A and B are shown apart, each in its own frame.
Chain A
Amino acid sequence: MNHPQSPETSNEPLAPGQRLPVSERKELSPEAIAEIHAIMAQYPDKLAATLPALHIAQREFGFVSLSAMKAVAKAIGIPEGHVFGVATFYTMFQKAPVGKYHFSVCTNISCALRGAAQLLEKVCEKTGVKPGAGPSPDGMWSVEEVECLAGCGVAPCIQVNHDVYDELVDERKLIEVMEACKRGEYRPWAQ
């Protein structure tokens, strides 16, 4: 999709993958590989395991780094280029680290009509991070502006990591959600 990255300014441009943030982890765990192999066996074509495997890799690595993509390609036995193409197409595969609690704020029309723009500004103010600009210094928060979450009737809504949405979020509710995160009532990212 259309997420152009800014062009390299150096005289020796980097290959697309080299611009991505690097993860510490380089390999998938044996359990994850076994899980991927089990998924491959369910489908007529092993290529179908690409998306589920990337979800698994994101869980293990914390985000889909270039090493994660390579590990997925190796586990399934498909070209690395294919995995890179798929991982960069879908917005839910985070190509850079995110915080322990990742806020997806919907700002599409139904939410916007009920104050999502102001809510996004509030979220940024309270967490001290900008949308899509990586986690806060303590690694707790990150914020992303997303397209419709299918929570239009209870707009504005927020998704924390992959949990059930928080609906009809106003400032008070937002503070409640952040307190609940601090108490560990939400599943942390990458779990």
Chain B
Amino acid sequence: MAAIRTKRDLHTYTFPGFGSEKFPNLMLRGAGDLDNWHLKVYEQKHEGYVAMKAALKMDPVAVTEEVKASGIRGRGGAGFPAGLKWSFMPKDTADRKFTRYLVCNGDEGEPGTFKDRVILEYNPHQLIEGMIIGGWAMQCAMSYVYIRGEFLWLIEKLEAAIQQARDAGYLGKNILGTGWDFDILVYRGAGAYICGEETALLNSLEGRRGEPRVKPPFPAAKGAFGQPTTVNNVETLAAVPPILRMGGAEYAKIGTPKNTGTRIFGVSGQVKRPGIYELPLGTPMNFLVEELAGGSSTGRKIKAIIPGGASAPMFDEKDFDCPLDFDMMKTRGSMAGSGGLIVMDEDTCMVQATLRLIRFYAHESCGQCTPCREGCNWMEMILHRIEHGQGRVGDLDLLASLTPRIGLRTLCPLGDAACGPMDSALQKFRHEFEHHITHKTCYANGSRLLSAVGAH
């Protein structure tokens, strides 16, 4: 028997007005209820597998068109239109038949992000249904869900849910009489942030070191096991059943014209009610942080917000009103990323925060490309000496000169991701770094983000 979570859940998933027309609840139905994951609950309460049954009667191309019409952009971080990604998959021709794969990216490792976990915990069937629809739209032979190794209990739960779907005839041979065979296999990762990058994930799925591949060929041409593959995030695939249920055009009315639909945002750090909030894209950030998450938990002013997981450049006060969508975030110099907001108050030392983030990238760099492998370690060393009162006058210029030599010079975006927080912290909180170098102490009071016992 699978290890099903029995511990009381400490997250908040809802807020007054959630589920109304203004704040539709598409992704978090039944979140918080530990029995919600069963197939029968999903079918009885949440219109489960209705969209799948309808989709299997449609032409696969029409399903892809519906997803395209919804305008949904990939929820993993890059924000690439999901329908367009699906349409890149090669079609069978008279003289060539392809074995296509669908891969679901559940390697949730971005600091500040904890959304996929909620879907896997409470609505695994919504993900399974989305994968069946995606598999049908692209006529895939097989699909794989890659889940980070720490989520062992969620892997066991998802496997139990997949078995329920198999027993109901939604997976396996000749699904609902269509003559189409499809199944889902769960693959357990083993603790590597880099495997969230799609080609690194494919390497890991093939049983190799999780090192990103040279692109092109893109996964749609040569992906898992050398076959055409589409990699989608858990949240993207779980959003497919609601899209098919309400119709692409109707889904596109939620949010803003170029950023449609709802998205799960995770708020963490120094706020009163950290947790998971599903909001239409384009909702202002300060509404989420101040109104829903309750503002600063310490009573001190909020100094900085990382708006899209640790890789996103930080925002200071003047950008707190930024709408939460892919384009506006980019215009304001950050990125929507994975939708994890990290809130820091006035007493947070930005040197420590940046050092902690850069240490993460130095640790998680796969070591394949020199700029990222060496550069992240250099940045960590320089920040370390600034933090420990040994900073030199030229260090800030040295740091600023490093980032353009890492960014856009590596195979995957991990190097760029490390430059985001580094550049933005230097630009927006330069006085704190200077204070550290000249006074050899923190500018902020009593901030202690780094432990005295050895770092790994």
Contacts and interface: CB of A to CB of B under 8 A. Distances in A.
A142 interface: no
A148 interface: yes
B111 A110 contact: yes
A90 B191 contact: yes
Nearest to A46: B207
B207 A42 contact: no
Nearest to A88: B209
Contacts of A109: 111-112, 269, 306, 310, 342, 353, 356-357, 360, 449
A34 interface: no
Given A89-B210, A150-B109, A51 B150 contact: no
Interface in B86-129: 99, 108-114, 116-117
B209 A112 contact: no
A67 B216 CA distance: 38
B246 interface: no
Interface in B147-189: 148-153, 185, 187-189
Contacts of A114: 269-270
* A47, A49, A121, A150 interface centre (most CB from chain B within 10 Å): A150
Nearest to A45: B225
A91 B373 CA distance: 17
A144 B450 contact: no
A51 B206 CA distance: 9
Contact of A51 (B110, B189, B227, B343): B189
Contact of A92 (B108, B150, B227, B344): B150
A174 interface: no
B268 A51 contact: no
B113 to A, nearest CB: 7
A113 B449 contact: yes
Contacts of A148: 109-113, 193, 310, 360
Interface residues of B, number: 75
A79 interface: no
A3 B373 CA distance: 12
A150 B117 contact: yes
A150 B113 contact: yes
Interface in A143-181: 144-155, 159, 162-164, 167-168
Instruction: State the majority secondary structure of interface residues on B.
Output: loop
A156 B451 CA distance: 13
A92 B7 contact: no
A131 B453 contact: yes
B348 to A, nearest CB: 7
Interface in B342-367: 342-344, 348, 353, 356-357, 360, 362-367
B448 interface: yes
A113 B455 CA distance: 17
A42 B185 contact: yes
A186 B333 CA distance: 45
A155 B268 contact: yes
B150 A2 contact: no
Across the A-B interface, give the 4 residue pairs with the lowest CB-CB distance, nearest first: A50-B207, A92-B191, A90-B190, A152-B268
Given A43-B185, A92-B190, A113-B269, 11 more contacts: A1-B367, A3-B456, A82-B208, A110-B268, A110-B342, A113-B343, A121-B452, A146-B191, A148-B310, A152-B113, A153-B268
20 contacts: A1-B194, A82-B208, A90-B149, A90-B210, A91-B192, A107-B451, A108-B356, A109-B269, A116-B451, A117-B450, A117-B451, A147-B364, A150-B109, A152-B111, A152-B112, A163-B153, A164-B3, A164-B153, A167-B10, A187-B3
